[in-house]
Amino acid sequence: MSRVTSPAEDTSVLQRRFSLGELLDLDSFRDVCESFADLFQIGFKIFDASREMLVDMKGSGNEFCAYIFSQPQGKIQCTRGVGIIRELEAAVGQPVYHDCFSGLRYLIAPLIHEGESIGKIVFGPYLPAESADSPLPALGEKFKADIASRLRGKARRVQEDVVRKVVRHLVQTIEVMLYVGYKNALTSRMHVESVSASYSELQSKNRALQDSYERLKELDRLKSNFLATVSHELRTPLTSVIGYSEMLLEGLAGPMSDEQTEYLHTIMEKGDQLLGIITSILDFSKIEMGNLRLNRTMVNMIEIARSAVTTLMPIARKANVKIEFANVQDIPSILADGDKIRQVLVNLVGNAVKFNHQDGTVTVKVEVCSRPSLAAQENLPAALARPEQELVCISVTDSGLGIPADKLERIFDSFYQVDGSSTREHGGTGLGLAITRSLVEAHGGKIDVQSGIDQGSTFTVLLPIVGES
Amino acid sequence: MVQINLEQREITIKIVYYGPALSGKTTNLQAAHKILDPNIRGRLMVLDTSDDRTLFFDLMPVYFKTSSGFTVKVKLFTAPGQVMHNSTRRIVLQGADGVVFVADSQKSLSQANNESWRGMASNLKVNGIDINEVPLVIQFNKRDLPEIRPDSEIAEVADKGKEPVFKAVAIRGEGVMETLDGILRLTWKTMNARFGLEEKLQIQEDAFIKHILKDSGLPTASRNLQSRGDLR
């Protein structure tokens, strides 16, 4: 757990050491320093902990210093003085002074951050008001004492307690800026770290989900294969069962008693039902595996709808449900696979009969309607949506149980049934509507449903009007 | 992870206040900030949202110089309590040398305490910190509220566990310094046993505590940490 660190080494996000320059916005900080030097007419320098100078503000003593520095001997002494000042370290609350050979003075105060020195202020030069001016140094033949004396007189003369107050104020101002800078630095680092940690977590969760999705997809593919194979294998012997039953009914194996004939009719009926289910599963497997082929010809939807209704009439009669066929206008023939559309309508009308009340009604209506373009209904603003197009609309309305609103979205899912209980009243595989939707969509169409509890349901098949051209 | 910088003669210790949302972690730091000597502590940095919920963490540095010239820095952090900030909590716990678990005394929040504890255990583990090794104290805060777990129950569970347990009303400053004293002593003991800090810093446990808690009204002589708890 313990480690010996080098000064510059980062350990964790929250324990990194920052230098003075890193915690201050140096450009705006220099602006503040400039106005400060302008206000007090005294220059100052700011060094960081590694003694690099970050700020150098000129004050009223600048002209005098420049003159001294222009003298060869003055330059040597000045450079020596700067070296001494760079090395001076003051303790908290105990600033130190440096008296320059030229008679000016500097005050050095530390900048403290989290209890330790992070840099220092070298405040000055100024003329101490409490002491008399010291004699000017002799700096060679070219040195003009009268010029030097005049320039030194321009430097601000100030009392020590005033200097201390000014420096304390400057230090406090800088320490507040350091605190704000530190807070910002930690906040932004923490923000980046948190976002990056959350991102990593999400990424690994996404990877796990993706893996799981791939596994499920593979399982789904296996399931479809299994269904197709099993259905195919079931259909072959079933065809024989139905075929031999037919032969028996036709008397090919000799005469049958009434009771035997009745039993055989039951075998035939149940065999047909079973064949229907197996055919549904096979159809669905084909659709899922992308093997659905449409055999398109010009077909009349009224004829197809009428044929579907006719097929279901005996079942409807048995269930005491009335089927009404409403066709009020001529419908143009369209290019479609008549068998598949017939299958769609048989499914929808069959459901409407199956889920109806005794003495209920099923209404089948075929008409031309105008709807927004089917291709344009994909979350586009109205301005971008394509204009309305004419469609063949085949609606199947029942007066039955209705579908709860929260189940409406799921009824087209394969194997889904609103009443999934083992004691459900109505049979079926839960594939009918999934197949229906796939067949309609394969025609470039769409199927809508409107329903409510005890308000019946209306399924509407919308097919684009497509000609042979 | 305690940082010992021999070149700069500096040691930095990290203490994290952890616990369920609104259990009073920030309030602990605010109270300690009021009580501690301004000369040995820095500003309290609070990074919160407009509704005073901790966003990233709070931080209060405490620092002093030993007579041997070593700078000792103790950084007190709080972790954000809201459930959604788990990744931030994990980052704040990185390198913790000691942990104060601030539990809410209200009976209705026992489940929140337990969930937060389990979250802490998991986050410590991710950070490579063994919950059985890291110095850890438990504070039952909000003892002034009605419907709290009674003292007898706290004492009973405290006896069963190995972590020292403290009771507090942080909003009034009660129990805050006792808890801080508890975690500092435990952390010091643990680190000293491992790294020989007394030898490196030439400072004894009591002197270390005295530097920090000098004017807080607590006796700074060595004390036996009293009670024990079992929130797990």
For residues B188-209, give the mean pLDDT. Answer: 86
Q: How confident is the model at residue A384 (pLDDT cuts 50, 70, 90)?
A: low
Each residue's pLDDT tens digit, A422-467: 445 555 667 788 889 988 988 989 999 999 888 889 999 999 988 7
Higher-confidence residue: B125 or A358?
A: B125
Name, in order, each residue with C-beta under 8 angstroms of B107's C-beta and a sequence gap of 6 or more: B147, B148, B149
What percentage of chain B carries pLDDT values higher than 70?
A: 91
Q: Is B49 on the interface with A (CB under 8 A)?
A: no
Return d(Cα A359, Cα B202) in angstroms, integer.
100
Per-chain mean pLDDT for chain B = 87
Is it the case that residue B142 has pLDDT exceeding 70? yes
Q: Is B91 on the interface with A (CB under 8 A)?
A: yes
Lowest pLDDT segment from A38-47, A361-370, B201-210:
B201-210
Domain covering B3-220 in this structure, CATH number: 3.40.50.300
* Interchain proximity B63–A11, CB inside 8 Å: no
Is it the case that residue A180 has pLDDT exceeding 80? yes
Is it the case that residue A207 has pLDDT exceeding 50? yes
Q: How confident is the model at residue A235 (pLDDT cuts 50, 70, 90)?
A: confident
Please report the pLDDT score of residue A423 as a whole number.
Answer: 41
Bridge partners (DSSP) listed for residue A335: A298
Q: Which of A15, A179, A191 sits opposite B3 (nearest CB)?
A: A15
Structure tokens, A283: 């159809």
For A151, A230, A289, A412, A417, the CA distances from A227, given in Å and listed in that order, are: 104, 5, 11, 19, 19
What percentage of chain A carries pLDDT values higher than 90?
A: 45
For A96, A174, A175, the CA distances from A112, given in Å and listed in that order, are: 15, 9, 7
Please report the pLDDT score of residue A379 as a whole number.
Answer: 60
Closest CA to B15 of B210, B212, B168, B228: B212
Each residue's pLDDT tens digit, A85-100: 888 877 766 789 999 9
Lowest pLDDT segment from A193-207, A251-265, B87-101, B212-226:
B212-226
Please report the pLDDT score of residue B222 as a whole number.
Answer: 44
Please report the pLDDT score of residue A194 as a whole number.
Answer: 86
Is it the case that residue B24 has pLDDT exceeding 60? yes
Higher-confidence residue: A7 or A223?
A: A223
Q: Is B195 on the interface with A (CB under 8 A)?
A: yes
Contact A334, A295 (CB under 8 A): no
Closest CA to A438 of A461, A418, A406, A465: A461
Closest CA to A321 of A365, A353, A363: A353
Return d(Cα B125, Cα A189) in angstroms, integer.
23
Q: Which of B45, B48, B97 to mutate to test the interface with A (most CBs of A within 10 A)?
A: B45
* Interchain proximity A1–B90, CB inside 8 Å: no
Q: Which of A50, A114, A117, A186 to mutate to test the interface with B (most CBs of B within 10 A)?
A: A114
Is it the case that residue B229 has pLDDT exceeding 50? no
Q: Which of B2, B56, B71 sits opposite A2 (nearest CB)?
A: B2
Q: How confident is the model at residue B228 (pLDDT cuts 50, 70, 90)?
A: very low
Q: How many helices (H) and strands (E) does chain B have?
A: 7, 9
Residue at token pair 């583990």 = B125
Q: How confident is the model at residue A11 (pLDDT cuts 50, 70, 90)?
A: low
How would you classify residue B123: left for phi > 0, otherwise alpha for psi between -120 and 50, otherwise beta?
alpha
Record the pTM. 0.67
Contacts of B14 in chain A (CB under 8 A): 14-15
Structure tokens, A244: 């031999």
Q: How many CB pairs under 8 A join A and B?
A: 91
* Interchain proximity B1–A14, CB inside 8 Å: no
Each residue's pLDDT tens digit, A323-371: 998 876 788 899 999 989 998 999 899 989 988 888 899 999 999 988 7
* Interchain proximity A14–B8, CB inside 8 Å: no
Is it the case that residue A393 has pLDDT exceeding 90? yes
Is it the case that residue A230 has pLDDT exceeding 80? yes
- Environment class of A430 (CB within 10 Å of its CB; exposed 0-12, middle 13-18, buried 19+): middle
Return d(Cα A5, Cα A11) in angstroms, integer.
8
Q: Is B42 on the interface with A (CB under 8 A)?
A: yes
Each residue's pLDDT tens digit, A53-91: 999 999 999 999 999 999 999 999 999 988 888 888 777
Contacts of A10 in chain B (CB under 8 A): none
Q: Which of B85, B87, B190 to mutate to test the interface with A (most CBs of A within 10 A)?
A: B87
Q: CA A134: distance to chain centroid?
A: 74
* Interchain proximity A7–B8, CB inside 8 Å: yes
Return d(Cα A349, Cα A343) in angstroms, integer.
10
Return d(Cα A49, Cα A120) in angstroms, integer.
8
Is it the case that residue B227 has pLDDT exceeding 50? no
Please report the pLDDT score of residue B157 as a whole number.
Answer: 83
Please report the pLDDT score of residue B116 as a whole number.
Answer: 95
Q: Which of A1, A4, A194 sits opposite B87 (nearest CB)?
A: A194
Contacts of B74 in chain A (CB under 8 A): none
* Length, in residues, of chain B: 232
Please report the pLDDT score of residue A417 as a whole number.
Answer: 65
Structure tokens, A89: 């370290």
* Interchain proximity B61–A115, CB inside 8 Å: yes
Is it the case that residue B231 has pLDDT exceeding 70? no
* Interchain proximity A116–B6, CB inside 8 Å: no
* Interchain proximity B7–A6, CB inside 8 Å: yes
Please report the pLDDT score of residue A95 as a whole number.
Answer: 81
* Interchain proximity A1–B43, CB inside 8 Å: no
What percentage of chain A carries pLDDT values higher than 70?
A: 89
Please report the pLDDT score of residue A6 as a whole number.
Answer: 37
Decide if the complex's ipTM is over 0.95. no
* Interchain proximity A11–B77, CB inside 8 Å: no
For B75, which residue in chain A has the nearest alpha carbon?
A15
Residue type, B199: E
Is it the case that residue B155 has pLDDT exceeding 50? yes
Name, in order, each residue with C-beta under 8 angstroms of A231's C-beta and a sequence gap of 6 or more: A278, A281, A282, A285
Closest CA to A371 of A401, A347, A350, A391: A391
How would you classify residue A119: left for phi > 0, otherwise alpha for psi between -120 and 50, otherwise beta?
left
